[in-house]
Structure 1
Amino acid sequence: MAVDIKNLNHNQLTELIAKAQTRQTELQKAKVTELRDKINALIKAEGLTFDDVFGQRPPRSKRAGVSVAAKYRNPTDPEQTWSGRGKRPRWFNDALKTGVKEKDMLA
């Protein structure tokens, strides 16, 4: 199927490009799925498991999702805390401007 792109306007070209990119993505996914199935079939035919061939996957980081204890507490509202990591909260900067020392806000 040959498309004469010289006779297409801007909107038609944009639509054609979008369709082509979508189709290209679909073909890539199908190719990956087919290859994955072939690999799994070969592994199974040899009587092995995925982990036997490629080894076990490393565990996720133990630190991921772990919350850190609060290091600083807002002197005017003890519910507000900060671990000392990342961007300073507004209440922390405001307290420093009013003359409160960092060590006075330690939790």
Structure 2
Amino acid sequence: MAKIDLKPLSLAELNALKKRVDKAIERHDKQRKTKALAALKAKAKELGFSLGDLTSAGTSKPKAAISKNNKPAKVTHRHPDDASKTWVGRGPRPQWLRDELAQGKDVADFKV
């Protein structure tokens, strides 16, 4: 690879060069993906499948796993003045709880 001296280039010239390089990289990646996809489709066809047949295989969960995991979590914390403000104890704390904690209260004060 030829070494390019970038020192004499202005900021505008460097930014223009950067855009050209980014576009060249995108084109290169797109060509590689297109070739890879064509090779995968050809191999799938050789084996008697379409690529869609193979990529969708095994993506659905068994019914037992779906019915087990779709129950909503139970509320574990509730605002004392507004019962509609709740938290299940998972994920980030809601703003109302963060506000109360900032006033010096303890998270245990809001347990249900």
- Equivalent residue number for residue 37 of structure 1: 38
Q: Percent identity?
A: 23
Q: Is the 8 A contact 2:101 2:107 kept in 1?
A: no
- TM-score with structure 2 setting the length: 0.60
Q: Is the 8 A contact 1:75 1:105 kept in 2?
A: no
- Equivalent residue number for residue 81 of structure 1: 86
Q: CA RMSD in A?
A: 4.1
Which runs of 5 or more residues in structure 1 are unaligned? none
Q: Please, which moves more after superposition, 16-25 or 87-96?
A: 87-96
Aligned mates of 2:98, 2:25 — CA distance in 1: 48
Aligned mates of 1:68, 1:26 — CA distance in 2: 47
Write the mapping of 1:54-93 to structure 2, written as runs, cut at 5 A: 56-59=57-60, 67-88=72-93, 89-90=97-98, 93=101
Q: Is the 8 A contact 2:40 2:51 kept in 1?
A: no
Which runs of 5 or more residues in structure 2 are unaligned? none
Aligned mates of 1:56, 1:15 — CA distance in 2: 45
- Equivalent residue number for residue 19 of structure 1: 20
In the alignment of these two chains, the number of paired residues is 103
3-state secondary structure, aligned to 1:27? helix
**Which amino acid in 1 is paired with 2:86?**
T
- TM-score with structure 1 setting the length: 0.62
